[in-house]
Chain A
């Protein structure tokens, strides 16, 4: 009796069966594109964003006639943010589903081993969310990203903290994960360049999945820090902020794009806890003029295009454009095309360097107001 959604599961099975049958019949007329990410497990929220973004993009492109007359068919791949499953799902997408390109993997620790598999098979992969430098630093020709790198936004935060906020004592907290620690370390490296590393009073990691950070907060309080920099995701940033305010720590909170998510309001327990916090992120997708129409479509479908949703959307757009232009699905050709052309996406025009990184990542800084909204600040 504790099988909450069993009928839906049954339905899903029937549907999946039907899809795979129809997939056989129409294999020639569609282009399959894999969407890989954590669809289950602790990071499933991000996988959901990938899928929502990609499926809306696919619907829009298909409605406009598809790619060279072929319809896009998306295939979901779940890696649960585990490297082991990431490799398995990468092989499955290539072998069973015969995908022509992949949007994916969220956790950098999944993207790194999985992209080896894609590159080995010469298949194009664009990650909408893996910001670890290592993803594109290994010289794999068909690996791209739709987001910035940790070593770009960390330094920006450091500049902001030192020059604008005139910090005296900085506490650095990270979540001991590839992304969080990576961005915190990049921030510290820049502090050193600015000769401000003496101002760092604390550098510690918290455990992802926990909700009680009170001991750490007390420690921050003991150091008398006036700025707290957090490298991590909103799931932990919210409770951390709330516990800081509950203990009377008034330090300004600065964080990265992993925390810039409307869900942080719920995670913290109200907008008053996050008011006045700063977060670096890529240009807010929802405010980019090009995105207005798309955002309206998402809203109409009952989806909040938060976090990485529009990045996944833009990734699919780029893949589709490259396929249209080269009239091919060969990873090498697509990669060469993407590296030499500018793609107009929902996030604005994008172009890539030889490594597969965005030439212009366009990070900016946002501040939260008392109503739980954030806006870009002029630097």
Chain B
């Protein structure tokens, strides 16, 4: 394989992987704190793509022509609305189930996922929607036929997701909220006894996860330009796979898992076959879990008697 093809595939893998990583954060944090697989998270990401397009279109229709400002407003809007969805879903569909069987919220999440998908389909229509390409700049390295061409948005995806990860790590490691999160994750009952409002912490985890998905949604919408009400499903499953691969419950694990999955998909498609790239991704997951049953960065589970 020529160097420029390899370099191009690495960039492809990194962009895809960063997106998986951002969405995987929502899965991994929720799992870490209440031990449930939030199957509706992929659809929260789908919602954020719609909010992005709606917000951009509304801003432009008011005659706004400063692109950076429009993007900033859209990002904030999308994060706020998507976070509100995260909070509401937890409040309505998961909190009443707390303390019942472990599987009850899973089924409820599947129900929420159906509601979100079909709610969006009913109100926005079923056809593929899009945003115009706003940042058409492409960067080209190399000459003649041997070149690597990447879009500015792809660079933005990598930079923004890495910096969001860094910010989130700081939030979890250094702030009071982060400490409360970690305490709740380790032992919810003990944290409650020590005066932590665990319900509020769980809510904020849902809000953070949704906000991260919103960042992913904005970036993806800018990069690929098109989306429909069904995108949450495929991406959601992949992101969840990434979260498990990296070790569910671990923040750096989510990002690492995302990047590995993205790179694996890109390189496998490039070198072997696109048809079987998903088969490869899932087989990789199975293999990793056979040798490291708690994922790459997951803490080994302590078996309590």
| A and B directly contacting (CB within 8 A) | yes
B225 contacts A214, CB within 8 Å? Answer: no
Contact with A along B251-283 (1 / 0, CB 8 A): 000000000000001110110011101100000
Task: Give the distance in Å from the alpha carbon of A269 to the alpha carbon of B266 in the complex.
Answer: 23
Instruction: Please pick, from B118, B127, B225, B231, the residue contacting A40 in the complex, using a CB distance under 8 A.
Output: B118
Given A206-B274, A214-B12, A269-B225, verify A242-B121 contact (CB < 8 Å). no
**Is the Cβ of B127 less than 8 Å from the Cβ of A45?**
yes
Say whether B8 faces chain A, with CB atoms less than 8 Å apart: yes
Which chain B residues lie closer than 8 Å to A293 at the CB level? none
Partner of A239, one of B1, B125, B127, B225: B225
Any A CB within 8 A of the CB of B305: no
Q: Given A45-B127, A204-B274, A218-B12, A212–B145 Cβ distance below 8 Å?
A: no
Knowing A5-B123, A242-B225, A248-B140, say if A235 contacts B274 (CB, 8 Å). no
Per the bound structure, the CA–CA distance linking A207 and B280 in Å amounts to: 14
Complex: A273 Cα to B131 Cα, angstroms: 13
Given the known interface contacts A2-B85, A222-B270, the answer about A267 and B278 at a Cβ–Cβ threshold of 8 Å is no
Inter-subunit contact A2/B275 (CB<8 Å): no
Measured between beta carbons, the chain A residues less than 8 angstroms from B170 are none
Q: A40-B121, A221-B8 are in contact. Are A214 and B16 (CB under 8 A)?
A: yes
Q: Does chain B have a CB within 8 A of A210?
A: yes
Q: Is the CB of A215 within 8 A of B266?
A: yes
A222 and B1 contacting across the interface, CB-CB below 8 Å: yes
> Is A234 an interface residue, CB under 8 A from the partner?
yes
Shortest Cβ distance from B15 into A: residue: A214
> How many of A's residues come within 8 Å of B, CB to CB?
49
Contact B15 A266 (CB under 8 A): no
How many residues from B make CB contacts under 8 Å with A? Answer: 60
Which one of B16, B19, B225, B270 has the highest number of Cβ atoms from chain A below 10 Å of its Cβ? Answer: B225
A2 in contact with B119 given A205-B274, A263-B127 (CB within 8 Å): yes
Closest to A204 in B: B274
Q: From residue B134, how far is it (CB to closest CB) to chain A in Å?
A: 9
Residue of B nearest to A273 (CB): B133
Q: B126 on the interface (CB 8 Å rule)? A: yes
Verify A246–B138 contact, CB threshold 8 A.
yes
Instruction: Tell me whether B230 is interfacial, beta carbon within 8 Å.
Output: yes
Interface string of B5-31 (1 = CB under 8 A from A): 100110011011001000000000000
Known interface pairs A2-B92, A211-B231; A239-B2 also in contact (CB < 8 Å): no
Cβ-defined contact, A238 with B88, below 8 A: no
* CB proximity of B89 to chain A, nearest CB, Å: 6
Distance in Å from the Cβ of B298 to the closest Cβ of chain A?
A: 26
How far does the alpha carbon of A43 sit from the alpha carbon of B121 in the complex, in Å? 11
Tell me whether B151 is interfacial, beta carbon within 8 Å: yes
Chain A's closest residue to B126 (CB) is A44
Cα distance A246–B1 when bound, in Å? Answer: 21
Q: How far is the CA of A224 from the CA of B226 in the complex (A)?
A: 27
The CA of A224 and the CA of B13, in the complex, are separated in Å by 21
The residue in B19, B131, B149 that gathers the most chain A C-beta atoms within 10 A of its C-beta is B149
**Cα distance A348–B84 when bound, in Å?**
52
Most chain A CB atoms below 10 A, which of B13, B126, B140, B270? B126
Q: Are A44 and B275 in contact (CB under 8 A)?
A: no
Residues on B with beta carbons closer than 8 Å to the beta carbon of A216: 269, 274
Q: Which of B140, B150, B226, B269 contacts A266 (CB 8 A)?
A: B226
Assess the A247–B126 pair: CB atoms within 8 A. Answer: no
The interface bits of chain A over 234-251 (1 if a CB of B lies within 8 angstroms of the residue's CB, else 0) are: 110011001100111000
Residues A193-226 near B (CB distance < 8 A): 204-207, 209-212, 214-216, 218-219, 221-222, 224
Q: Mark A36-73, 1 if CB is under 8 A from B, else 0.
A: 00001111110110000000000000000000000000
Are A224 and B275 interface neighbours, CB within 8 A?
no
Shortest CB-to-CB span from A274 to chain B, Å, is 12
CB distance from B271 to the nearest CB of A (A): 9
B100 contacts chain A at the CB level, 8 A cutoff: no
Q: Is the CB of B5 within 8 A of A268?
A: no
Kindly state whether residue B116 has any CB partner on chain A within 8 Å: yes
Inter-chain contact B115/A266, CB cutoff 8 Å: no
Partner of A215, one of B220, B234, B270: B270
Chain B residues lying within 8 Å of A41, measured Cβ to Cβ, are 230
24 contacts between A and B (CB under 8 A): A2-B85, A2-B116, A4-B119, A4-B120, A5-B122, A41-B230, A204-B275, A205-B274, A207-B234, A209-B231, A209-B234, A212-B16, A215-B265, A215-B266, A215-B274, A222-B1, A222-B5, A235-B228, A239-B226, A248-B149, A266-B129, A267-B225, A268-B226, A273-B133
Interface residues of B (CB under 8 A from A): 1-2, 5, 8-9, 12-13, 15-16, 19, 85, 88-89, 92, 112, 115-116, 118-123, 125-133, 138, 140, 145, 147, 149-151, 220, 224-228, 230-231, 233-235, 265-267, 269-270, 273-275, 277-278
Extra 8 A-B pairs, beta carbons < 8 Å, given A3-B119, A40-B121: A5-B119, A44-B126, A204-B274, A211-B226, A211-B227, A215-B9, A215-B12, A238-B128
7 shortest interchain CB distances as A-B pairs: A269-B225, A44-B126, A266-B130, A215-B269, A214-B12, A248-B149, A4-B119
